[in-house]
Amino acid sequence: GFLPLQGHVVRNWKVRWFVLLQDKLLYYKIEGGKKEPSPKGRILLDGCTITCPCLEYENRPLLIKLKTKTNTDYFLDCCSREERDSWALDITGAIHAGHPVQVQELHRMKNSFKLLENISLHDIVERMYDSSTGIKLTRNLDQGNRYKETFTGSALVDWLISNSFAVSRFEAVTLASMLMDENFLRPVGVRSTEATRSSDPSEKFLDDSTALYMFAESSKKNTSSKEEVHFNISELSGTIVKQGFLVKQGHKRKNWKVRKFVLRADPAFLHYYDPTKEENKPVGGFSLRGCLVSALEDNGVPAGVKGNVQGNLFKIITKNDIHYYIQASSKAERVQWIEAIKPLT
């Protein structure tokens, strides 16, 4: 699949097509909408160590870090927590494929729960407040209300694991629930507040990128009505239905670029981002109301499509008759995107 990779000489980000084999991770360059036949590079997994979550870059919270036995660092960026965890699990399995004892230990750690000794909840909260290494506080929007100095549930889980307070997401969720029970944290917004009413203790804290939390001592939320929120913020406030990397044809130059697509409902919009840029702002997007979406046949290049494309194409026509040509990485992924978009049109 597609993942942005940081360069070694020039520290910029390039999107590459990655293929995981038993002992190596190959990556390919995409030219004209098609994968080049020879790999651009390879990461040897023998003796490799993986860090996930990796929080070394504030603007890229979904990183995987690979360090080879020759001490070369590779940073791979993902478009969602689910995608990151899936890649990390598969890469970890490949790294330890020849060591069944280590694989068993990984599964044991993943399914066990034991809080670290000699660590109090007060110590954890103090570390969370640290201006340089603590949890990053951001402004967030929920149901038309703006909240200052908040963090998401998945961001806290990542932080607890990366700071060695927990060894699995299950353990981090349990620890976060304890912080909430002891009134160190409080939920804000609809999703996290509703979860606290659950009778199951393991479901009171949400390991989710849309569930918001803040320090209990923080100032009260600053709210504004939906009508006062800027239009761009309004269209970005919908619930994320699906996200992933797709290849899109440009409107002017007709070249093909990998973009991170985010599909939202209520309101129904499809936005796309440049994954090589640091700022998390869409470079384009459109309302899905009145759109038509359909698959394009893979035998030959359809009219309106330029370049020697890979296939798995689909087309979206907006109500203003603007045509978007998009490539998925497989037929199955194309079907998934079409089925996700259709109910929102």
Tokens of 102: 């280590």
Cα dihedral sign for 125, 131, 136, 142?
Answer: positive
* Contact predicate 305/325, CB 8 Å: yes
* Intervals of CATH 2.30.29.30 along the chain: 2-111, 233-342
What CATH architecture applies to the domain 233-342? Roll (2.30)
Return d(Cα 231, Cα 218) in angstroms, integer.
28
- pTM (2 d.p.): 0.69
Strands 145-152 and 138-142 come out as: antiparallel
- Order of strands across the sheet that contains 323-327: 284-287, 269-273, 256-265, 239-249, 323-327, 313-317, 292-295
* Intervals of CATH 1.10.10.10 along the chain: 121-215
DSSP class per residue in 250-317: -SSS--EEEEEEEEEETTTEEEEE-TTSSS---SEEEE-TT-EEEE--SSSPPTT--S---S-EEEEE
Domain 2-111 has CATH 2.60.40.1120: no
pLDDT of amino acid 66 = 95
* Contact predicate 58/278, CB 8 Å: no
Beta bridge partners of 326: 248, 314
SS3 percent helix, strand, coil of the chain, rounded to 5, is 25, 30, 45
What CATH architecture applies to the domain 121-215? Orthogonal Bundle (1.10)
Distance of CA 117 to the CA centre of its chain: 32
**SS3 for 200?**
coil
pLDDT of amino acid 220 = 37
Return d(Cα 338, Cα 135) in angstroms, integer.
37
Taking only the tens of pLDDT, the chain with its 345 residues reads 999 999 877 789 999 999 999 899 999 998 877 888 899 999 999 999 999 888 888 788 889 999 999 999 999 999 888 898 889 989 998 988 766 555 555 555 444 444 455 567 888 888 899 888 899 988 887 766 778 889 999 999 999 999 988 888 888 998 898 888 777 898 988 888 888 876 666 678 999 888 999 998 753 333 343 333 333 677 777 888 999 999 999 877 788 999 999 999 988 999 999 999 887 788 889 999 999 999 988 666 677 787 767 788 999 999 989 999 999 989 999 999 999 999 999
